[in-house]
Amino acid sequence: MLENLRVKNPHIQIHSVHDPEFSRFGEVLDVSEFGDLIRYLELHTTVPSVGNEYVPHRAELGDLVSDLSVIHNTFGRVPLEYGYVNGNNSKLNALEFHKSSEINVCVTPLVLLLAHIEDIDDSTFHSSKVTAFYIPQNTAIEVYSTTLHFSPCKVTDSGFKCAVILPYGTNMEFVSAKGNQGKYGKFLFKTNKWLLNHPENTRMVELNAISAIHGENIEIYY
C-alpha cells in the first residue's frame, strides 16, 4: 500500500512510520497490549458516511487498557481519557498540539501529516514543512507533545479508525487565551489544545480558530 500511496502523491514524500524520520515526532509502541482495544473499535464503532466522528472519552475503552504497562510508562499515572476518531478525512486542514504526549492506536491503515512545533515561524506555519507518514493497520504510536498533528487521512474507501489516548479533559471544552503570555498562547483553542488552522478549513474559521497555516492544504490520494 505504501508504494501505491507514493505513486499517487508525488506532491509529498510519504515515509513509513518505521523510518528513522519518525523519531523527531514520536515512537512506535508494542501494539500487542492493545488487542482488546482494537477489537472493541472494530466491533462497536463505525465510520460515519461523511466527515469524521471524534469521541474524546468512552469509559469502556479505559476499562480495557488503563492498567497496561505502556499506558503507565507513557503518562505516569495521570488521569486519562480514552477516545477515538473515525472518519473520511483526506486533507491537512489544521495542525494542533497538546502539552502532553498522545497515544494513537491505528485500527486501520492511515496517513498522518506531522510537523514540529519549532517549524512555527513568527506565529505562522508553511505547509511545505509537513512530513507525511504511512501507518499500517494495528499499529500503536506515541505522538510527542512537540509534534503538530491533526486528523488522520484515509487510504481506503472505507475510511479510518484510530484510538486516541490523552490526559483527561483534553479537547473537551472551548477556551481562549488570556493576555499575551506564552510564545504560542494565542493558538489556545480548547482544553489542552493549541490549534493552527488552514483558511480553507471553513468550519474552524467559523469557530474563530486562527488561520496561521500558509501554502497548500495538502491532500492525500489513494
What string of pLDDT tens digits covers the 222 residues of the chain?
A: 999 999 999 999 999 999 999 999 999 999 999 999 999 999 999 999 999 999 999 999 999 999 999 999 999 999 999 999 999 999 999 999 999 999 999 999 999 999 999 999 989 999 999 999 999 999 999 999 999 999 999 999 999 999 999 999 999 999 999 987 889 999 999 999 999 999 999 999 999 999 999 999 999 999
pLDDT at 179: 85
For the record, the C-alpha cell of 111 comes out as 496517513
- Distance between first and last Cα of the chain: 9
The domains located in the chain, with CATH, are 2-168 (2.60.120.10)
**Cβ atoms of residues 210 and 186 within 8 Å:** yes
DSSP 3-state assignment of 59?
helix
Residue 108: per-residue pLDDT: 99
β-pairing, 139-143 vs 188-190, is: unpaired
DSSP annotation of 215 reads: S
pLDDT of residue 132: 99
What's the burial of 108, exposed, middle or buried (CB within 10 Å: 0-12/13-18/19+)? buried
d(CA 166, CA 19): 25
Give CA–CA dist 19/208, Å, rounded. 37
- pLDDT for residue 180: 79
Strand partners, 143: 26, 102
